[in-house]
Amino acid sequence: MRYPLLTFRLCAAIVCAMFALLSVSQSADSILVAKLQTHIKYLASDELEGRSSGSEGNSKAADYIANFFKQNSIPSLGASYFQEFNIPTSIALAEGNKFALEITVEQPGIPKDQIKPVKVGWKAGGDYTPLSFSENGTASGKLIFAGYGISSPDSQYDDYAGVDVKGNIVIVLRGSPDGNDNHGKFGNYISLRSKMLTAREKGAAGIIFVSQAGDSADSLIALELGTADKNSGIIALSAKRTPIAKLFPRDKPLSIIDAQIIKSKKPNSFEILNTKVTVTVQLTKIEKPTSNIIAVVRGTNPSLSNEYIVVGAHYDHLGWGDEGSLHGKTEKKIHYGADDNASGTSGVMELAATFAKNPAERPILFMLFTGEERGLLGSAYYVKNPLVPLENTICMINMDMIGRLKDAKLNIQGVGSSSRWQSLIDSLGKAHAFTVSIGADGFGPSDHSSFYTKERPVLFLFTGLHSDYHRPTDTWDKINYEGEANVLSFAEGAVREISRTVEKPDFIKVKSTSSQTTGGFKVTIGIVPDYSDHPKGLKITDVREGSPAQKGGMLADDIIIKFGETTIKNIYDYTSVLGQTKAGEKLKVVVLRGPKEDKEVTLEVVPEARK
């Protein structure tokens, strides 16, 4: 009868051991939850003021991350944790801004050429201000009122019909005859960029924006640097309505003309006679340093020592409401960015600490990127200036907004970028009781895209959008810390599985579908633009597989200089004209190609409808 007693004692021991392991696991989870909360509370604090790239708060966040790596004995890859580069953070008036009017007042009996013009000067920052996307330089010419600055063939409405604006300065009202409805029939034509582009394509030398009648008619558009501040090819100003109205003839007052256009929905453009204007704009962009932070945990298998896995996230956010804010209110507020992306940042930090204690077989680079909110600047800088050759980087796992897990639903993008990913995701999803939704495409609005364009397999972990996205209400107290800990366990499992498998993940370029296009456009051609400035036009980072661009012969590293009839100087020229393009409409696209970027190639592309 001793055997049954032994069995009972053995079972009891096993149960006790299981409870002990469960207790340790629960204790470990609670410790991780506490650590994540500590990190996110600091990163999303008032002190860091939203971590805008190049700001003091951004620098404090970088120091916090680097100190964490140092305290946990996680070495830098090189001499420093910081991969530093400069970005423009603000824009200001330089010396030499001038606005000079010459007004000829006709006098009975005196020939016009004998009348000495009255000279009037306006003050920059008082009567007018240059816009941040204005070119530096001087424009001089006649003054032409061009209504709302809209030329829309589809709506049979053209403010430029019947007036010659070539080489002259146009006055343009903001909004449209239908108001400011972005979804109305003039929705693709009412942005400042669209109006500027139209004026430039019509040959204007400069454009002056004026507000519609109302309490804020004499407010100026603030001179603030945004991600859209690329070279525009034209002098661009914002002017107060009152001084502009004084230039209009008595028989055509601005208030009456404006009201007539709104009521009739018909243009009423004309030259303001006897008036010449000369405008000089001089702006200076102020740059500040910012940094990616990079640490490494070496692997345990010497034969795999040159095969690196990248685990990354961006640590910057929108500061007090940089371009991209959805706050929608005039008062500035700190955009804390707890989920976007203090959650991913803290996740990378704690994964690094975990692997430092228990390394994987392959080396792992832990990267925290800056400048993501300004167009993936940090990760784009890294792939252009890699500290490890990109051919030695076998994959990249990105974590962006992993702090709002709800109903155990985890979204993973990039699953089509390697044949290894689907089975890996399936097994890990079951093990962690996640309901996993997947996307095949390796492109997307986060830092993994920079690696995918360099043909590196990628995975992007994301717990979903929410109503606090890019708003001041994205705060630390709304994070699901236990859920994030579970996501990190999933990420750790993925990294360990990738690391222990001898065969490297293969790379697959996912075939494009029109539904993968970002933005609010009705059509797509399937290019991945380079968001950095290029002096010749819009450089293409990559072309989607099976897309209209690929079918038309466009290649990565091509520079678009003309799209249809429109000259392209930057991504905002491209997006403006894309918003006015129809699916199925054959377009000539002119690109520069070759090592010297001087071979002009004309292609034909047929945009597809976005599903």
pLDDT at 485: 97
- Looking at the chain, the whole-number percentage of residues with pLDDT higher than 90 is 71
pLDDT at 600: 93
pLDDT at 153: 85
pTM score, whole prediction: 0.80
Q: What is the sign, positive or negative, of the torsion defined by CA atoms of 402, 403, 404, 406?
A: positive
Average pLDDT over residues 214-236: 82
Q: How far apart are CA 145 and CA 163, in angstroms?
A: 9
Which tens digits make up the pLDDT trace of 509-550? 988 654 344 445 678 898 888 766 788 898 888 888 889 999
Which tens digits make up the pLDDT trace of 202-211? 999 999 999 9
- All domains of the chain in start order, with CATH: 29-87+288-401+442-489 (3.40.630.10), 96-281 (3.50.30.30), 514-609 (2.30.42.10)
Contacts of 427 (CB under 8 A, 6+ apart): none
Closest Cα partner for 69 from 248, 315, 278, 304? 315
Per-chain mean pLDDT for the chain: 89
Residue type, 461: L
Which tens digits make up the pLDDT trace of 69-108? 999 999 999 899 999 999 988 899 999 999 999 987 776 7
Q: Are 413 and 451 in contact (CB under 8 A)?
A: no
DSSP bridge pairs for 137: 281
User: Is residue 504's pLDDT more than 50?
Assistant: yes
pLDDT at 181: 78
Q: Are 118 and 103 in contact (CB under 8 A)?
A: yes
pLDDT at 573: 85
Q: How far apart are CA 2 and CA 203, in angstroms?
A: 101
Which tens digits make up the pLDDT trace of 124-152? 999 999 999 999 999 999 999 999 999 98
Does 97 sit behind a cis peptide bond, omega within 30 degrees of 0 on the bond before it?
no
Which tens digits make up the pLDDT trace of 437-455? 999 999 888 999 999 999 9
Structure tokens belonging to residue 15: 């149960």
**CB neighbour class for 20 (10 Å; exposed up to 12, middle 13-18, buried from 19):** exposed
pLDDT at 229: 61
pLDDT at 15: 38
User: Is residue 230's pLDDT more than 80?
Assistant: no
Under the banding of pLDDT at 50, 70 and 90, the label for residue 494 is: very high
pLDDT at 232: 80
